[in-house]
């Protein structure tokens, strides 16, 4: 399972766009990139998943360059409720028994 | 998607006792997982629980300490045996589901365990 590196913490203000970058230099061909969000006292929640290029859903966008050695989670116009820990995970859940290995995550703090 | 519930939501236990945590999924799932999350830390995978076979434990976790049952496709239990204060943590279960083309893990709300 590919190791990931992401910033430990980030600060932002309401209404700003937040970009969190994750490095995964040893990503394998079959690996997907998945981001989860965790609020205090809750289990992690799936945000977005991608394999290459760009993926967008109703809450975020995921940008993956051609070499796939990094990825960027983009949160448009954050609000106070986006304050949470964001985890970047790399793996092939359909091939490796669904295991998720969590790194340290990025603690995002959104201020008024 | 899936809705996952856990019982109990929290408990305070004495050293040397055992606690069984229940995890219920609202649909049939093949793969279920148990994680531990210590305060201020990330999640650590304890084991994978698949129905019809013994659980697969990650390095550092053993069956004698964390026995797991998976009697059917919607239910699993994790027992924390012979507890010590170091076992104080949040324990979460999850299941892997393919939803709208994505492979997602859905997590329960967690069980907050305090060992005195």
Put simply, whether A44 touches B (Cβ < 8 Å) is yes
- Does the CB of B103 have a partner CB in chain A at under 8 Å? yes
Min Cα–Cα distance to chain A from B110, Å: 6
Q: With an 8 Å Cβ cutoff, are B48 and A99 in contact?
A: yes
Q: Do B92 and A43 touch (CB under 8 A)?
A: yes
In the predicted model, what is the mean pLDDT of chain B?
93
Cis peptide before B8 (omega within 30 of 0): yes
> B102 and A104 in contact by Cβ < 8 A?
no
A42: chain B residues, CB-CB within 8 Å: 107, 109-110
Q: Which helix H or strand E contains B60, and what residues bound it?
A: none
Q: What is the pLDDT of residue A97?
A: 67
- Flag whether pLDDT at B59 surpasses 90: yes
Nearest-CA distance A84 → chain B (Å): 12
CA distance B110 to B93: 7
Question: Is residue A112 predicted with pLDDT exceeding 80?
Answer: yes
Interface check for B53 against chain A (CB to CB < 8 A): the answer is: no
Render pLDDT for A48-73 as a digit per residue (tens, 0 to 9).
999 998 999 999 999 999 999 999 99
Residues B3 and B99: beta-carbon distance below 8 Å: no
**What average pLDDT score do residues B92-108 get?**
87
In chain A, residues with a C-beta closer than 8 Å to the C-beta of B112 are: 41
End-to-end CA distance of chain B: 37
The pLDDT of A17-35, averaged and rounded, is: 93
B14 touches A at CB < 8 Å = no
Model confidence at B2, in pLDDT bands (50, 70, 90)?
confident
With contact defined as beta carbons under 8 Å apart, do B87 and B44 qualify?
no
C-alpha span between B9 and A95 (Å, rounded): 32
pLDDT digits (tens, 9 = 90+) for A68-105: 999 999 999 999 999 999 999 998 776 666 777 888 89
Answer whether B77 touches A (CB < 8 Å): no
B47 close to B68: Cβ distance less than 8 angstroms: yes
Closest Cα in chain B to A97: B31
Using the Cβ of A99 and the Cβ atoms of chain B, whether some distance falls under 8 Å is answered with yes
pLDDT in tens, B29-53: 888 999 999 988 999 999 999 888 8
Distance from the Cα of A93 to chain B's closest Cα (Å) equals 7
Burial A4-36 (b: 16+ CB within 10 A, else e): bebeeeeebeeeeebebebbbeebeeebbbbbb
């Amino acid at each position: 399972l590919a190791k990931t590196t992401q910033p430990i913490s980030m600060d932002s203000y309401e209404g700003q766009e937040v970009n969190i970058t994750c490095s995964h230099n040893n990503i394998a061909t079959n690996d997907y990139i998945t981001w989860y969000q965790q609020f205090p006292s809750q289990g992690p929640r799936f945000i977005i998943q991608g394999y290459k290029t760009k993926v967008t859903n109703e809450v975020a966008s995921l940008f993956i360059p051609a070499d796939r050695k990094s990825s960027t989670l983009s949160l448009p116009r954050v609000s106070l409720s986006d304050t949470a820990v964001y985890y970047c995970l790399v793996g092939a859940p359909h091939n490796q028994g669904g295991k998720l290995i969590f790194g340290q995550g990025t603690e995002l703090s959104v201020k008024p | 998607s899936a809705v996952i519930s856990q019982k109990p939501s929290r408990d305070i236990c004495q050293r040397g006792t055992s606690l069984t945590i229940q995890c219920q999924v609202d649909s049939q799932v093949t793969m279920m997982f148990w994680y531990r999350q210590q305060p201020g830390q990330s999640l650590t995978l304890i084991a994978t629980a698949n129905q019809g076979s013994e659980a697969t434990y990650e390095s550092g976790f053993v069956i004698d300490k964390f026995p797991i049952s998976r009697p059917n496709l919607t239910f699993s239990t994790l027992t924390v045996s012979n507890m010590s204060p170091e076992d104080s943590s949040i324990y979460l279960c999850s299941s892997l589901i393919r939803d709208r083309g994505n492979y997602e893990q859905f997590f329960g709300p967690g069980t907050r365990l305090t060992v005195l």
